[in-house]
Amino acid sequence: MAIKAILFDYVGTLVQPRNYSMERSKTKMHLALCDAGLNTNVDDFMEAYAKAHEKYRIIRYQQLREVTNAVWVSEALCNAHCNVAVDDSRLKTGLNVFFQDFIDTLELRPHAKQLLKKASENFKVGLVSNFTYAPTIYASLRKLRINTFFSAVVISESAGWRKPHQTIFNQALRILHVKPEEAVFVGDSPKEDIEGAKKVGMQAIFVSSGFNTLADLEKNGAKPDMVVQDLEELCDKLPDLPMRSNKLFNHG
């Protein structure tokens, strides 16, 4: 069956952060929250934030239910003696400050834009990303000027589920109006991207990244339909994809 759509993971696969410091972002967020009237002692807040973050990290990774940052930031503030509701608009102010550093440090991987342009000329193109604060992804897509390549953008915060859960993949497929067997997923995470996509029924291409190497893939035991070292290699192989059926992918 001919391939009609290519879906991509985002961070790691298409973009990478350079010199990002989460500690610096947390400090800036605390200052922004205080300026917004949500005053806490910095040490109390950082301790409470670490505990809340770990609590919800376990939920997110074990249950695959996504939890937005506002949940654990509001809980951290409450535990640091500043009661605030999770839907308080001032939390968004703090989160926007927190993630601005991340947006500023994101850069396209070599050949990413070339790959997306080439893919969009021949296939429907989608993005499926695990991220706890969707505005960050949309803002970075615009900043990097690649937002126009995607006919579907599905982010775990909005979907409510994280990869490798089938729901988030299926949501993207529905938006693109393609069957799983008509789609290929490209990602750098053996578990979230490769195992998740194949469980849904898509073909999967593993691309090595700064987060996950070929050694990580081998250690995990996931079985992608194709393995590429970088996006340039995938760009070179892209024209062959429409001619490939589920059983005709070559490894390496």
Per residue in 134-167, pLDDT (tens digit) is 999 999 999 999 999 999 999 999 999 999 999 9
When pLDDT is cut at 50, 70 and 90, the band that residue 5 belongs to is very high
The answer to whether residue 2 scores a pLDDT higher than 60 is yes
Answer yes or no: are the C-beta atoms of 154 and 173 closer than 8 Å.
Answer: no
Predicted local confidence at residue 150, as pLDDT: 98
Per residue in 11-44, pLDDT (tens digit) is 999 999 999 999 999 999 999 999 999 999 999 9
Predicted local confidence at residue 252, as pLDDT: 42
Average pLDDT rounded to a whole number, residues 99-120: 97
Average pLDDT rounded to a whole number, residues 174-178: 98
Q: Domain locations in the chain?
A: 5-18+108-243, 22-104
Predicted local confidence at residue 240, as pLDDT: 76
Predicted local confidence at residue 242, as pLDDT: 59
Average pLDDT rounded to a whole number, residues 44-61: 97
Predicted local confidence at residue 246, as pLDDT: 45
Average pLDDT rounded to a whole number, residues 64-68: 96
Per residue in 229-242, pLDDT (tens digit) is 999 999 999 877 75
CATH class of 5-18+108-243: alpha beta
Predicted local confidence at residue 249, as pLDDT: 44
Average pLDDT of every residue of the chain: 94
